[in-house]
Structure 1
Amino acid sequence: MILSAPQVTAINEAVSHLNLPWRDLFDAIEVATPPEIALLSLDPDPEHQLLRLTAEAASPEAMLDYVASLKQQAVFSAVSMKRHQLDAQDPNNVLRFSVTLSLTANGKRMK
Structure 2
Amino acid sequence: MARILRPFSILPSRVAEGYRRSSAVFSFNHDGLEVARVRNRSRYLPLWHLIFFIYFAMIIRLVVAADIGTAGYEARMQEMREGHTLERLAARVMHMDPVSRQLAVQIRTGLTFINQRILDRRI
TM-score (norm 2): 0.33
- More RCO (CA 8 Å, sep 6+): 1
- Length-normalised TM-score, structure 1: 0.35
Structure with bigger gyration radius = 2
* Higher-helix-fraction structure: 2
